A and B are shown apart, each in its own frame.
Chain A
Amino acid sequence: KQEVTQIPAALSVPEGENLVLNCSFTDSAIYNLQWFRQDPGKGLTSLLLIQSSQREQTSGRLNASLDKSSGRSTLYIAASQPGDSATYLCGCGDYKLSFGAGTTVTVRA
């Protein structure tokens, strides 16, 4: 059974600082890893999808890396803004995802 862990559970940074969010998983035989953003009371919005054959994906200020051998993925958010405040979730698998509990980010203006 895939176990997914996200540390830390919460993070507070001043505006402009770079964010580093971690995701670790126990089974390296994953199809893909997906990073999501969740705003309070809302659904999940997909940010980046890294396929198992890829090592990283980038979209704007977001960059996600994947190291299957060590069972780790990292989401980098450059030059954070107050609008980046949300909970970030990683999910591993195919059409059936195993999720971490998320990291709640607060960016202080």
Chain B
Amino acid sequence: NAGVTQTPKFQVLKTGQSMTLQCAQDMNHEYMSWYRQDPGMGLRLIHYSVGAGITDQGEVPNGYNVSRSTTEDFPLRLLSAAPSQTSVYFCASSYGRAQETQYFGPGTRLLVL
């Protein structure tokens, strides 16, 4: 199993540009989430999904969209990039709702100029 994969590893954007961060898992996990990590802060939840076709907002959803058309993939879209979205983005997945280990991808480092 590849586990949780994320692409790209690093991206530079100009303010106002849009892009999609890709996340995929091959463990047949129903639950997937996106977090951002900023210096000196813990990871913060952006959006999450409890299964194909079902998504919801987390703590910091503004400026981001998600969709879940398959169990395997959970892309995160930046609609109009802003410097405040400079961060490291992590995708995570787990099999069950609770009492299950969460698996994280390697992260995407995003710089918005």
| Residues of A bordering B, CB below 8 Å | 4, 31-32, 34, 36, 42-46, 49, 51-52, 89, 91, 94-102
Check: B25 CB closer than 8 A to any chain A CB. Answer: no
What are the residues of chain B within 8 A of A95 when measuring CB–CB? 31, 33, 48, 50, 94, 96-98, 100, 102
Whether A97 pairs with B45 at a CB distance below 8 angstroms is yes
Partner of B104, one of A43, A96, A98: A43
Check: B40 CB closer than 8 A to any chain A CB. Answer: yes
Taken residue by residue from 84 to 113, chain B's Cβ proximity to chain A (1 for < 8 Å, 0 otherwise) reads as 000000101010111111111111000000
Chain A interface, DSSP helix/strand/loop, else mixed:
strand
Whether B42 pairs with A31 at a CB distance below 8 angstroms is no
Report Cα–Cα, A43/B42, bound state, in Å: 13
Q: Can you list 19 residue pairs at the A/B interface with Cβ under 8 Å?
A: A34-B102, A43-B90, A43-B104, A43-B105, A43-B107, A44-B90, A45-B104, A46-B104, A94-B98, A95-B31, A95-B94, A95-B100, A95-B102, A96-B45, A96-B58, A97-B43, A98-B42, A99-B42, A99-B43
User: Closest residue of chain B to A31, judged by CB?
Assistant: B98
What are the residues of chain B within 8 A of A44 when measuring CB–CB? 43, 90, 92, 104
| Residues of B bordering A, CB below 8 Å | 4, 31, 33, 35, 40-45, 48, 50, 58, 90, 92, 94, 96-107
Report Cα–Cα, A99/B13, bound state, in Å: 27
Whether A46 pairs with B33 at a CB distance below 8 angstroms is no
Whether B102 pairs with A43 at a CB distance below 8 angstroms is no
The distance from the CB of A7 to the nearest CB of chain B, in whole angstroms, is 13
User: Closest residue of chain B to A36, judged by CB?
Assistant: B104
The distance from the CB of B3 to the nearest CB of chain A, in whole angstroms, is 9
